[in-house]
Amino acid sequence: MASKRNPSRNADLAGAPPKLATMDDLAIPTAAKTGRAHPVSKSASTSRAPHRINLRAVAEACIEEGLDPAVEIAKALKATIPMMRSGQPVLDDKGKNIMVPLLDVDTRMRTLNEFLQYTQPKLKSVELKMSGTLDLTSEQLDNRLNMLLAKAAR
Protein backbone atom coordinates (compact mmCIF):
# COMPACT_ATOMS: atom_id res chain seq x y z
CA MET A 1 0.00 0.00 0.00
CA ALA A 2 1.49 3.32 -1.09
CA SER A 3 1.83 6.09 1.45
CA LYS A 4 -0.30 9.20 0.87
CA ARG A 5 2.41 11.35 2.37
CA ASN A 6 4.83 13.36 0.30
CA PRO A 7 7.56 10.89 -0.80
CA SER A 8 10.24 13.59 -0.96
CA ARG A 9 9.46 14.52 2.66
CA ASN A 10 9.86 10.87 3.71
CA ALA A 11 13.15 10.70 1.81
CA ASP A 12 14.39 13.80 3.67
CA LEU A 13 13.74 12.08 6.98
CA ALA A 14 15.57 8.88 5.96
CA GLY A 15 14.43 7.15 9.13
CA ALA A 16 15.42 10.07 11.37
CA PRO A 17 12.88 11.71 13.66
CA PRO A 18 11.24 14.83 12.23
CA LYS A 19 12.96 18.16 12.83
CA LEU A 20 11.41 20.81 15.07
CA ALA A 21 9.74 23.74 13.35
CA THR A 22 11.75 26.94 13.07
CA MET A 23 10.43 30.49 13.38
CA ASP A 24 10.47 30.71 9.54
CA ASP A 25 8.16 27.67 9.37
CA LEU A 26 5.72 29.35 11.76
CA ALA A 27 5.72 32.75 10.02
CA ILE A 28 2.51 33.71 8.26
CA PRO A 29 3.20 34.25 4.56
CA THR A 30 1.83 37.50 3.18
CA ALA A 31 0.78 38.55 -0.29
CA ALA A 32 4.05 40.46 -0.68
CA LYS A 33 6.09 37.34 0.07
CA THR A 34 4.02 34.78 -1.85
CA GLY A 35 2.53 36.89 -4.63
CA ARG A 36 -0.92 35.56 -3.71
CA ALA A 37 -4.00 37.53 -2.78
CA HIS A 38 -4.57 35.52 0.44
CA PRO A 39 -2.11 34.08 2.93
CA VAL A 40 -1.75 30.32 2.56
CA SER A 41 -1.07 27.93 5.43
CA LYS A 42 1.65 25.34 5.05
CA SER A 43 0.49 21.76 5.40
CA ALA A 44 2.21 18.39 5.38
CA SER A 45 -0.40 17.08 2.94
CA THR A 46 -0.32 19.58 0.09
CA SER A 47 -1.88 17.16 -2.40
CA ARG A 48 -5.34 17.41 -0.79
CA ALA A 49 -5.69 21.16 -0.28
CA PRO A 50 -2.80 23.10 -1.84
CA HIS A 51 -4.41 26.52 -1.30
CA ARG A 52 -5.91 26.50 2.18
CA ILE A 53 -6.44 29.93 3.72
CA ASN A 54 -4.59 30.66 6.95
CA LEU A 55 -7.42 31.24 9.45
CA ARG A 56 -5.25 33.26 11.83
CA ALA A 57 -4.47 35.72 9.03
CA VAL A 58 -8.17 35.94 8.14
CA ALA A 59 -9.06 36.69 11.77
CA GLU A 60 -6.37 39.37 11.95
CA ALA A 61 -7.64 40.94 8.71
CA CYS A 62 -11.19 41.02 10.11
CA ILE A 63 -9.99 42.71 13.29
CA GLU A 64 -7.97 45.26 11.27
CA GLU A 65 -11.18 46.15 9.39
CA GLY A 66 -13.08 46.50 12.67
CA LEU A 67 -15.05 43.29 12.19
CA ASP A 68 -15.07 41.11 15.28
CA PRO A 69 -16.79 37.89 14.10
CA ALA A 70 -18.51 37.27 17.46
CA VAL A 71 -19.87 40.82 17.55
CA GLU A 72 -21.00 40.67 13.92
CA ILE A 73 -22.82 37.37 14.47
CA ALA A 74 -24.52 38.82 17.55
CA LYS A 75 -25.61 41.86 15.51
CA ALA A 76 -27.02 39.57 12.79
CA LEU A 77 -28.90 37.56 15.41
CA LYS A 78 -30.49 40.74 16.80
CA ALA A 79 -31.13 42.42 13.42
CA THR A 80 -34.75 43.12 12.49
CA ILE A 81 -36.50 44.23 9.30
CA PRO A 82 -39.97 45.66 8.69
CA MET A 83 -42.70 43.07 8.11
CA MET A 84 -44.00 43.35 4.55
CA ARG A 85 -47.30 42.23 3.06
CA SER A 86 -48.02 42.67 -0.64
CA GLY A 87 -44.97 44.92 -0.95
CA GLN A 88 -46.20 47.29 1.76
CA PRO A 89 -44.94 47.53 5.36
CA VAL A 90 -47.34 46.24 8.01
CA LEU A 91 -48.12 48.83 10.67
CA ASP A 92 -49.18 48.34 14.29
CA ASP A 93 -52.00 50.23 16.10
CA LYS A 94 -49.76 53.28 16.59
CA GLY A 95 -48.77 53.47 12.91
CA LYS A 96 -45.22 52.12 13.45
CA ASN A 97 -43.65 49.37 11.34
CA ILE A 98 -43.93 45.88 12.82
CA MET A 99 -40.38 44.55 12.97
CA VAL A 100 -39.47 40.87 12.54
CA PRO A 101 -36.10 39.10 12.96
CA LEU A 102 -33.87 39.16 9.89
CA LEU A 103 -32.87 35.51 10.36
CA ASP A 104 -35.37 32.68 10.49
CA VAL A 105 -35.90 30.81 13.77
CA ASP A 106 -34.02 27.70 12.62
CA THR A 107 -30.89 29.67 11.65
CA ARG A 108 -31.00 31.65 14.90
CA MET A 109 -31.34 28.47 17.00
CA ARG A 110 -28.52 26.66 15.20
CA THR A 111 -26.23 29.68 15.58
CA LEU A 112 -27.06 30.12 19.27
CA ASN A 113 -26.54 26.39 19.82
CA GLU A 114 -23.06 26.69 18.28
CA PHE A 115 -22.27 29.67 20.54
CA LEU A 116 -23.55 27.76 23.56
CA GLN A 117 -20.71 25.25 23.40
CA TYR A 118 -18.18 28.09 23.83
CA THR A 119 -20.02 29.91 26.62
CA GLN A 120 -21.49 27.18 28.84
CA PRO A 121 -19.83 24.05 30.21
CA LYS A 122 -21.29 20.80 28.98
CA LEU A 123 -23.13 18.83 31.61
CA LYS A 124 -21.89 15.40 32.58
CA SER A 125 -24.33 12.54 32.56
CA VAL A 126 -25.31 11.29 35.99
CA GLU A 127 -26.37 7.74 36.68
CA LEU A 128 -28.61 7.10 39.64
CA LYS A 129 -28.81 3.64 41.13
CA MET A 130 -31.28 2.99 43.89
CA SER A 131 -31.25 -0.09 46.01
CA GLY A 132 -34.10 -1.45 48.02
CA THR A 133 -37.75 -1.29 47.28
CA LEU A 134 -39.29 1.36 45.08
CA ASP A 135 -42.30 1.93 47.30
CA LEU A 136 -41.59 5.64 47.56
CA THR A 137 -44.13 8.27 46.66
CA SER A 138 -43.28 10.78 43.93
CA GLU A 139 -42.86 13.45 46.62
CA GLN A 140 -40.34 11.28 48.48
CA LEU A 141 -38.47 10.61 45.22
CA ASP A 142 -38.41 14.36 44.46
CA ASN A 143 -37.05 15.12 47.94
CA ARG A 144 -34.37 12.45 47.60
CA LEU A 145 -33.38 13.67 44.13
CA ASN A 146 -33.20 17.32 45.32
CA MET A 147 -31.00 16.23 48.23
CA LEU A 148 -28.64 14.40 45.83
CA LEU A 149 -28.53 17.38 43.44
CA ALA A 150 -27.75 19.76 46.31
CA LYS A 151 -24.98 17.44 47.47
CA ALA A 152 -23.52 17.27 43.94
CA ALA A 153 -23.59 21.08 43.59
CA ARG A 154 -21.27 21.58 46.57
DSSP string, 58-75: HHHHHHHTT--HHHHHHH
**Better pLDDT: 101 or 36:** 101
pLDDT bucket at 154, cuts 50 / 70 / 90: confident
Average pLDDT along the chain: 76
Q: Contact at 8 Å (CB) between 55 and 45?
A: no
CB-based contact 62:68 (threshold 8 Å)? yes
Q: What is the pLDDT of residues 83-134, one digit of tens each?
A: 999 999 999 999 999 999 999 999 999 999 988 888 888 888 888 776 766 6
N- to C-terminal Cα separation, the chain? 56
- According to DSSP, the β-strands at 99-101 and 80-82 are antiparallel
